[in-house]
Structure 1
Amino acid sequence: MNSNTTQNAFPIPTRIAVNGVELEVFEAGQHNAGNPIVLCHGWPDLAYTWRYQVPALVAAGYHVIAPNQRGFGASSRPTEVDAYDIEQLAGDLVALLDHFGYDDATFIGHDWGAFIVWSLTLLHPERVKRVICLSLPYLARGEMPWLDFMEAVLGSDYYFVHFNRQPGVADAVFDADPARFLNNLYRTNEPLLPPKPGMVMIEIARTETPAGDPMLNDSDLAVYTAAFENSGFTGGINWYRNLNRNWHLLADADPIIQQPALMIYGSRDAVAPAENLAAFVPNVEEISLDSGHWIQQERPEETNRVIVEWLARQEAVHG
């Protein structure tokens, strides 16, 4: 294990210049050089989301690379909204591989990080060896741009739509009290309730009686709070503000992902499983864990076991 990390401490970050930005990168298992695995967080999240996975992956023989992606933590936060489109986010990861001298890697993504990993695999298939995604399955590119489709089906208060149609409004609410928003959002044992009217993320940020139980302990919450007090939420929300742009940017990509893939669902996650994932990802294995949305943090031991065993099977078959 890297001397900078223990079971109880996340690796010490370095800042790496890639693709016109600087990323704060947490690295472990350098002695496993030649066997890279890149971990991609979602929103509003950090590389720290993988704190339970890093030691397990190092022990399994991987060189673990976990960036705070652009807009998050101490990584660069460009002001232009289109600086957060999928070509830029995928380009950061390609440049990260170049920095370390890797032709390809296994990529793990959760939530928005899963969207980035799926899209990276479409845009740069030669750079992706294997795909592991949590919570968010492959999002098929339908005939209508994603945001327009969401607005038509789910309405203007749906938070993806609200982020786009009312720029700055939600950002200001979250920025006003990051600790409260994050503590209210990161919950376990939440009841699955039907959607309520209003903008759900703003409601979560303002509620005094969040559902379920807090998932983050005091020290974990302090890590998240300090990061978002420093960065604010706008950079990460700008990922959402490129949803239609991403739909256009992916127009010419072959929509079929051929790489071996593992899809991990939470059975109590509000994100629904895909009904036809194998149509777009023919070499996929799908697994469901008894979890809400924050799978790798809620069920770390089961998540680690599923990932490490799947990777071992892939190594045995494909090398």
Structure 2
Amino acid sequence: MIHSHVFPQARLIAVNGVRLEVFEAGRENAGNPIVLCHGWPEHAFSWRHQIPALAAAGYHVIVPNQRGYGRSSRPDEVTAYDIAHLTGDLAALLDHYGYDDAVFIGHDWGANVVWNMALLHPGRVRRIVSLALPYQPRTERPWIELMEEVFGGDHYFVHFNRQPGVADAVLDANAARFLRNLFRTNLPPAPPAPGNVMIGLALAETPLGEPVMDEDELAVFVSAFEATGFEPGINWYRNLDRNWRIVADADPVIRTPALMIYGAQDTIPQSDTLAELVPGVEVVSLDCGHWIQQEKPRETTEAILNWLQG
């Protein structure tokens, strides 16, 4: 188990009008960059198991806390978290290191940012590894509008947009309990509970399933979110319809070589059109839930390295 005391020291790096808290390993492998992008509500620490192995395999491993997270900047304006800003941060991070392109690995929201890097900055992306979230092609109507129609106003994506501040306050008031209840695996099958599932997790007395990490590891996430609050990360969701407009003119087919890693027990559905939209994709499925690289650290790292070295 890799604990916080052996996690790399952070540097604050000025890029794209913000400062990003960046963790690095394998600086001796300059010229072979790999950028790891966390999801919501997570932290660069989500990649603690992969960082040493990737550095040992010859990569310069660059792991930012993206804007809104950890000690990175947290702009006040909601629009500062749109996909142009999020991908712009990563492109500027490559500029900082003097890299034309890199391998990008993303989990959950980080995967969405990485897929969009390939749409908005295709020349900067050498290869893509996506965990949990398959490429989401642009729909005919804005995403939140569509989700509201299909899933209703309580779906957390919709709720975050239509009731700004409501979920943020509940999560902030219950940060430790929310994260303890969220980072679980082997959950018993059950129909979705009514209401915003994230508010439900923040208020639930008893966690279901089994913990994904030990108490020391969980404490890293809890202390980070107790410091920042949840609003900046939730603001990523509040830009989905804006993002829908931003990518309107991008070529929707991603031609970058890609590896898609699913968790077989994840509630995010697997894509049946992925091979058409990402013709160079290979797919791996691991027997785990949503928190793939933390639930199955060795298998995740092996799948990534086997594919990169293949």
TM-score after normalising by structure 2:
0.98
Equivalent residues in 2 for 1:45-84, closer than 5 Å: 45-84=42-81
1:207-231 CA distance string (max 9 Å, x none): 0122101222111111111100111
- 1: CA distance, partners of 2:200 / 2:25: 38
Judge conservation of contact 2:3–2:217 (CA < 8 Å) in 1. Answer: no
- In structure 2, which of residues 287, 290, 299 is the aligned counterpart of residue 290 of structure 1? 287
Counterpart residue type for residue 242 of structure 1: N
- 2: CA distance, partners of 1:278 / 1:144: 23
Find the counterpart in structure 2 of residue 309 from structure 1.
306
- In structure 2, which of residues 25, 28, 32 is the aligned counterpart of residue 28 of structure 1? 25
- 1: CA distance, partners of 2:4 / 2:238: 37
Equivalent residues in 2 for 1:118-267, closer than 5 Å: 118-267=115-264
Structure 2, unaligned runs of 5 or more: none
When the two chains are superposed, the root-mean-square deviation of aligned CA atoms in Å is 1.2
- In structure 1, which of residues 85, 92, 97 is the aligned counterpart of residue 94 of structure 2? 97
Give the Å deviation of 1:256. 0.7
Find the counterpart in structure 2 of residue 316 from structure 1.
none
Give the Å deviation of 1:68. 0.2
Percent identity, aligned pairs only?
64
Judge conservation of contact 2:36–2:63 (CA < 8 Å) in 1. Answer: yes
Find the counterpart in structure 1 of residue 271 from structure 2.
274
Give the Å deviation of 1:6. 9.0
Structure 2 CA distance for partners of 1:79 and 1:7, relative to 1, 3 Å: closer
Find the counterpart in structure 2 of residue 113 from structure 1.
110
- 2: CA distance, partners of 1:266 / 1:9: 27
- 2: CA distance, partners of 1:86 / 1:298: 28
Judge conservation of contact 1:109–1:116 (CA < 8 Å) in 2. Answer: yes
Q: Secondary structure at the match of 2:167?
A: helix
Structure 1, unaligned runs of 5 or more: 314-319
- 2: CA distance, partners of 1:67 / 1:206: 30
1:279-306 CA distance string (max 9 Å, x none): 1100000110001000000000000110
1:62-110 CA distance string (max 9 Å, x none): 0000000000000000000000000000000000000000000000000
- 2: CA distance, partners of 1:298 / 1:72: 22
- 2: CA distance, partners of 1:129 / 1:206: 42
- 2: CA distance, partners of 1:57 / 1:7: 18
Q: Secondary structure at the match of 2:141?
A: coil
- 1: CA distance, partners of 2:260 / 2:188: 23
Counterpart residue type for residue 217 of structure 1: D
Counterpart residue type for residue 158 of structure 1: H
- In structure 1, which of residues 36, 39, 51 is the aligned counterpart of residue 36 of structure 2? 39
Give the Å deviation of 1:8. 6.3
Give the Å deviation of 1:9. 1.3
- 1: CA distance, partners of 2:304 / 2:165: 38
Counterpart residue type for residue 229 of structure 2: G
Q: Secondary structure at the match of 2:253?
A: coil
Structure 2 CA distance for partners of 1:162 and 1:7, relative to 1, 3 Å: closer
Aligned residues: 309
Counterpart residue type for residue 178 of structure 2: F
Judge conservation of contact 2:3–2:216 (CA < 8 Å) in 1. Answer: no
- 1: CA distance, partners of 2:19 / 2:139: 34
1:165-187 CA distance string (max 9 Å, x none): 11001010111121111000000
Structure 2 CA distance for partners of 1:6 and 1:158, relative to 1, 3 Å: closer
Counterpart residue type for residue 208 of structure 1: E
